[in-house]
Amino acid sequence: MTENQRLNFLFNRQLQYLNSTEEKEEFILLMADPINEEQVKQLLNSYWEEFDENEFSPAVFLFGDGEKMLSKIQSENIYPLPKARRKPKLWIGIAAALAIMLFGASLFYLKQNAGLADTKAYIKPGSAGATLKLANGKTIKLSAAVNGELANEAGVTITKTTNGQLVYEIKGTTSPDQINTLSTSNGETYQVRLPDGSLVWLNSASSLSYSTALVQSGKRSVKLLGEAYFEIAKDTKHPFIVKTGNQEVEVLGTHFNVNAYDNESQAKTTLLEGSVKIKNKANQKIISPGEQATVTGDDISVEKVNTGYAVDWKNGVFRFTDKTLEAGMLEVARWYNVQVIYKRPELKNEILGGRISKYASITQVLKKMAITGAFRFTVKDREIIVE
């Protein structure tokens, strides 16, 4: 979900009075960001066009003296509002109420300056994109590729769909020696549907290698570097194996997340549905839904967790709850494609909290992280300095 889509989603939920406390905070930040000004105007115009006064629920907005509120808001140079084309008094009240949302958002936005020394820098968040390397050595930049058939090799047709998903379909005799690699850079994420129908969401700075036939020696097997979320199609005859640097995850049909970046000391597998076996050279463990297996060297530990935290990245959210600053900044660095410099190494162990949209501006994300006041950020070009 892009930042524009996220704002549309939260706007519509706000109109239905459905936003949670955290969603309201995210909504306010997105509404207040000057980058979204044109989209906010369009949303207000669109709402007015579709508005039915007979179905209007006063619970959605704050009400008061509409004309006075509108005058006050306009005097503060808040976004101009569309002209009334129906009942003037009713529109003034609604426009004022909507504008108050923006007015409050603007005040909130201005109060969030603590913790960020340079607010002029703008670094775009990541987006859908990846590079596909075929068995013959050809590479395809998927963000630039047109929708439709991309390749036909070894009996497999590879297609890019209109929603940006990569789809493999077996249409002939396949060879297990034909290896493809799907890789994302910093600031990219992508989704692929494998030949067996399994779905994989690949996080930033990650890669997934697999045979175009997928099945090798009676098993469906892929190799992962980085992080991915899997929804595996059930096939009792062919177990699905995810290989990372020092572990294997074996399943028959299930939903799970694997985090195994080379620059992190632990590999974590979080199970949402089904059953998986985690094994390395020294140990193996079977985990159940709601559990997370952590591999550190030869050791495998298992604990109950909130599985939603592990897959927030797939749903377009940074979840900082109980994470160290170092762990949080690793995620930020991969998504926004920036370098992080610590003036004081001990700050890496500061504990964070909260959540925010991955499609928020870098300034919003850093302000959220620095809300405790224990450290501050300075943004220079593509460097984030922590002090």
Q: Of 246, 218, 216, 214, give the one whose Cα is nearest residue 230.
A: 214
- C-alpha 337/C-alpha 320 separation (Å) is 18
Alpha helices in the chain (DSSP H): 3-15, 21-32, 37-50, 66-75, 88-110, 307-311, 325-336, 362-369
**CA distance to 66, 136, 197, 239, 376, per residue, from 344 (Å):** 52, 47, 48, 47, 11
Burial 81-118 (b: 16+ CB within 10 A, else e): beeeeeeeeebbbbbbbbbbbbbebbeebeebeebbee
Beta bridge partners of 266: none
Q: 66-75 and 88-110 are packed helices; what angle lies between their axes, rounded to 10 degrees? A: 40
Kindly calculate the radius of gyration of the chain based on its CA atoms and give it in whole angstroms. Answer: 24
Task: Check for a shared fold between 127-310 and 316-386.
Answer: no
- C-alpha 276/C-alpha 345 separation (Å) is 37
- C-alpha 183/C-alpha 206 separation (Å) is 6
SS3 149: strand
List of the chain residues with pLDDT < 70:
1-3, 15-17, 21-22, 25, 29, 32-35, 44-122, 154, 172-176
Q: 21-32 and 3-15 are packed helices; what angle lies between their axes, rounded to 10 degrees? A: 120
- C-alpha 211/C-alpha 193 separation (Å) is 13
Q: Which residues contact 358 (CB under 8 A, 6 or more apart)?
A: 125, 126, 313, 316, 317, 318, 335
Percent of the chain whose pLDDT exceeds 90: 40
Q: Does CATH number 3.40.50.12780 belong to domain 316-386?
A: no
For domain 127-310, the CATH class is mainly beta
Which pLDDT value is given to residue 57? 38
Q: Where are the domains of the chain?
A: 3-113, 127-310, 316-386
Which pLDDT value is given to residue 191? 94
Taking a C-beta distance cutoff of 8 angstroms, is the pair 106, 79 a contact? no
Q: Taking the model in full, what pTM does it have?
A: 0.71
- C-alpha 164/C-alpha 296 separation (Å) is 35
46-100 tens-digit pLDDT? 655 454 444 433 333 333 443 444 344 344 433 333 444 444 444 444 454 455 4
- C-alpha 258/C-alpha 251 separation (Å) is 13
How, if at all, do strands 339-342 and 383-386 pair?
A: parallel
